[in-house]
A and B are shown apart, each in its own frame.
Chain A
Amino acid sequence: MEQARAPEITLGPVLFHWPAAFMRDFYARIADEAPVSAVYVGEVVCSKRSPFLDPHIPEIVERLQRAGKKVVLSSLAEVVLPREREMMSALCRLQNCEIEINDAAGTYFRAGSPHRIGQYFNLYNERTLEVLVRGGATHVTLPCELPRGSVASMAARARELGVGVEVQVFGRAPLALSARCYHARAHGRVKDNCQFVCGDDTDGMNLKTIDGESLLTVNGVQTLSHPYLCLIAELPDLIASGVNAMRLSPHMLNMVEVASIFDETLHRRMAPDAALSRLRAIVGAPGLMNGFWHQQPGGIYVM
């Protein structure tokens, strides 16, 4: 059994196709200013984007580590093509760094060696957790649709097994993945000649219903929520459930400020109400959602 640790704040992988130069600056600022203890780096959504980010990863990792952050290399949520399988295989051979696995191809390659399980991996129950821990998992991020009661059961078992449990507490919720690129489709293209049009929408492309309601966000092959998932009011509940890492998913917002609000709230220097108001102001029109946690429609905010 592991000692109960103080909950930490983590920064999940960037889900969008941001320019590499911007990405470097983003992580430099995170390194210097954001009160997060761990940062997940790497392309998760689309393997076609990887060549843009990959050359800069060593520098980004070094920069973050120099600032005292733990760095975890995250990986593709969808592994289908030969180049994607190669990428997974290569990542899983790295023995001197922490990696996060989002697909069963990773658990195949990485069997027996330590790794983290990411939120795209279908990890819903204690028995699955036990199997994954036997295979080398040391820390898991739960799917964001898992409700409070199940998270608590998972966290209890995870504590017995001595593994960390992480939950996404901020950022648009990942809802679906596809083999088809919906960004390319919107522009009358297909994935193979997408011309990286997803890069034009730095927080994803808005989809409205025919009657004008903003409902979904397209990010290449991924579909996200329109509102931003936000569990700041639920932090005490999360901690009581035994969750020991709170993930912020990066957006084109002031992520340093977002992280600071979570940090202040976690250390009781800011009241949850005040924190909620500030996050509402930062996010603006799309608003917030917390329905999954409360076993309600995921997109709503339960007060």
Chain B
Amino acid sequence: MIKPDLVCPAGTPAALRDAVDAGADCVYCGFQNATNARNFPGLNFTPDELDRGIAYAHARGAKVLVALNTFPPAGKFELWRQAVDGAVARGADALIVADIGVASYAAEAHPDTRLHLSVQASASSPEAIKYYCREFGVRRVVLPRILTIPEIKAIAQAIPCEIEAFIFGNHGLMLEGRCSLTNYVTGQSTNMDGVCSPAADVKFEPLPDGGMASRLGGHMLDCFGAGDKAGYPTLCKGRYVAPCRSEPYYAFEEPLSLNLAPMLADLIHAGVHAFKIEGRQRSRAYVQKVVAAFREAIDDVSDGRAPRVADLIGLTEGQKQTEGAYKSKRWR
């Protein structure tokens, strides 16, 4: 039986050290620019910080994966080229790429560096995955969060590379890497600028009843009552009015998080090589708690024990969690 790698997020150098200390096998992070999909204010690594982060991780037996998982628009490829070269020069253990051009450059310029295919590439069939393996020698694919366990198993048997699957964190609804909703209302592109609902365009307005309205680019996303739980201020987590509904409803998804703690053994049997925790935008407190909890759970499962998973509901979006698409096709 494979003992999967635990792959953990780090938005800052401190979070990277915390993730390593809490038992991460791999930590993923990005540079402070549009070359990664969490290009948020105050987040990410300078080249020097990456240097020190990699040294810290390697000294403790952990690996560092650098996310270069956005799509350079024509005329701006140079920034991505520098990021690829910079990450390799600093000893990154793998590059997580989404764009065909970036993958092609990395494969050509650094044939010995491992390439992982980001979830942003939205490769959700064996053939799509095999395309990237054949063309660029991709060694691992991060699967979209839309597949059931039997589907993952079928894919694992049909592809020549490893599988990484999300087990905890933000529950992405739209096919990742194929969503222009943010650009539609803000002029900033998720694919090209690495932002999803950029904070600069988010406004929270107090309401007279103690509630709160959230807006993105001036458009209302949701109104929360005083006691309602909230989610990220994104268009896909907003509440809308439709002709066939009498009340506003979550047209795409309620605010909730993915938590696959109960299904770790199933995922291992399906052939998953790495478990990924989402959340480079989250704090050290989140990283410490979630990584420690899943470290223990994975060790339990690998040793044939029933996994104990600490209660993580307090950290989840909308304070609700789901097994999402992994559990049942009825999610679709």
A–B direct touch in complex (beta carbons closer than 8 A): yes
A124 at the interface (CB under 8 A from B): yes
- A104 engages B123 (CB within 8 Å): yes
Q: Which residue of A lies closest to B331 (CB)?
A: A180
A19 / chain B contacts, CB cutoff of 8 Å: none
Q: Which of A10-18, A23-31, A51-59, A205-213 contacts B (4 or more CB under 8 A)?
A: A205-213
Contact residue among B174, B180, B329 (Cβ-Cβ distance under 8 Å from A173): B180
On chain B, the residues within 8 Å of A144 by CB distance are 180
Q: Does the CB pair B330–A299 fall under 8 Å? A: no
Asked whether B180 lies within 8 Å of A298 as measured between CB atoms, the reply is: yes
> Count the A-B residue pairs with Cβ separation under 8 angstroms: how many?
227
Q: B178 contacts which of A85, A120, A154, A295 (Cβ < 8 Å)? A: A120
B220 at the interface (CB under 8 A from A): yes
Report yes or no: A145 in contact with B180, Cβ–Cβ below 8 A. Answer: yes
User: What is the CA–CA distance of A82 and B192 in the complex, to the nearest angstrom?
Assistant: 31
B238 touches A209 (CB 8 A): yes
Instruction: Give the docked Cα–Cα distance between A177 and B100 (Å).
Output: 20
Which chain B residues border A40 with CB–CB below 8 Å?
Answer: none
Cross-chain contact A297 with B101 (CB below 8 angstroms): no
**B-facing residues in A188-214 (Cβ within 8 Å):** 190-192, 205-213
Q: How far is the CA of A150 from the CA of B75 in the complex (A)?
A: 6
Q: Does A161 contact B (CB under 8 A)?
A: no
CB–CB B134/A108 < 8 A: yes
With A104-B132, A186-B242, A218-B251 already in contact, the answer to whether A124 and B181 are too (CB < 8 A) is no
Q: Are A125 and B121 in contact (CB under 8 A)?
A: no
Tell whether, in the assembled complex, residue A124 and residue B192 are in contact, meaning their CB atoms are under 8 Å apart. yes
Contact B189 A145 (CB under 8 A): yes
Please, which residue of chain A has its CB at the minimum distance from the CB of B131? Answer: A108
Known contacts A176-B179, A182-B251, A216-B240; is A295 also within 8 Å of B187 by CB? yes
Cβ-defined contact, A209 with B241, below 8 A: yes
Check if A299 sits within 8 Å of B128, measured CB to CB. no
State whether B104 touches A131 (Cβ < 8 A).
yes
Instruction: Knowing A124-B74, A149-B75, say if A78 contacts B175 (CB, 8 Å).
Output: yes
Contact B243 A205 (CB under 8 A): yes
Give chain A's interface residue range (CB within 8 Å of chain B): 35 or more
User: Considering the chains assembled together, what is the distance between the CA atoms of A68 and B75 in angstroms?
Assistant: 37
Contact A178 B147 (CB under 8 A): no
Contact status A104-B128, CB under 8 Å? yes
Contact of A176 with B181 at beta-carbon distance under 8 Å, contacts A78-B175, A216-B235, A297-B187 already known = yes
Q: How far is the CA of A298 from the CA of B223 in the complex (A)?
A: 24
Q: A153-B75, A205-B244, A209-B219 provided; 11 other pairs, C-beta below 8 A?
A: A77-B178, A111-B134, A125-B75, A126-B74, A145-B192, A190-B329, A205-B243, A207-B242, A210-B239, A213-B220, A297-B186
Whether, in the assembled complex, A136 has its beta carbon less than 8 Å from a beta carbon of chain B, the answer is: no
Per-residue interface assignment for chain A, residues 122 to 161, with 1 indicating a CB less than 8 Å from any chain B CB and 0 otherwise: 1111111111100100000001111101110110010000
Q: What residue in chain A is nearest B172 (Cβ atoms)?
A: A178
List B251-297 residues whose CB lies under 8 Å from chain A: 251-253
Instruction: Determine whether the beta carbon of A175 is less than 8 Å from that of B128.
Output: no
Assess whether B219 is in contact with A215, with CB atoms less than 8 Å apart.
yes
Q: A223 within 8 Å of B by Cβ?
A: yes
**Residues B184 and A297 in contact, CB atoms below 8 Å apart:** yes
Are A103 and B104 also in contact (CB < 8 A) when A185-B251, A225-B184, A299-B184 are?
Answer: no
Contact B183 A210 (CB under 8 A): no
Could you mark each residue 95-112 of chain A with 1 if its beta carbon is under 8 Å from any beta carbon of chain B, else 0? Answer: 000000001110111010
- Name the residue on B nearest A177 (C-beta): B175
In the complex, are the beta carbons of A173 and B146 less than 8 A apart? Answer: no
Q: Which residues of A contact B251 (CB under 8 A)?
A: 182, 185-186, 207, 216, 218
A85 lies within 8 A of B125 (CB): yes
CA gap between A73 and B132 in the complex, in Å: 24
Contacting residues, chain A, for B99 (C-beta < 8 A): 122, 124-125, 128
Binary per-residue interface labels of chain B (312-332) against chain A in the complex, 1 for a CB within 8 Å, 0 otherwise: 000000000000010001111
Judged by a CB distance under 8 angstroms, whether B72 is at the interface is: yes
Contact A176 B180 (CB under 8 A): yes
Asked if A192 and B185 sit within 8 Å, CB to CB, the answer is: no
- A132: chain B residues at CB < 8 Å are 100
Q: State A110–B243 Cα separation when bound (angstroms).
A: 42
Q: Are A79 and B127 in contact (CB under 8 A)?
A: yes
Give 25 CB contacts A-B under 8 Å.
A79-B124, A85-B126, A103-B128, A105-B127, A108-B130, A125-B71, A126-B101, A127-B105, A128-B104, A131-B135, A132-B100, A135-B135, A147-B73, A175-B179, A177-B174, A178-B174, A180-B331, A185-B251, A186-B245, A190-B330, A191-B329, A209-B219, A213-B219, A295-B187, A296-B187
**B204 at the binding interface (Cβ < 8 Å):** no
Proximity string of chain B (3-20) to chain A, C-beta cutoff 8 Å, 1 when within and 0 when not: 000000000000000000
Query: How far is the CB of A8 from the nearest CB of chain B, in Å?
Result: 22
Q: How far is the CA of A150 from the CA of B193 in the complex (A)?
A: 13
CB-based nearest A residue for B130: A108
Given contacts A157-B74, A178-B174, whether A107 and B325 have CB atoms under 8 Å apart is: no
| Chain A residues within an 8 Å CB radius of B123 | 104
A259 part of interface (Cβ distance < 8 Å) = no
Q: Which residues of B contact A88 (CB under 8 A)?
A: 127
B191 touches A124 (CB 8 A): yes
- Give the CA-CA distance A216 to B241 in the complex, in Å: 10
Q: How far is the CB of A135 from chain B (nearest CB, A)?
A: 8
- Give the residues in chain A near B231, CB-CB below 8 Å: none
Complex CA gap A191/B248 in Å reads 21
Chain B positions 216-249 with a Cβ under 8 Å from a chain A Cβ: 217, 219-223, 235-236, 238-245, 248-249
Inter-chain contacts of B134 with A (CB < 8 A): 108, 111
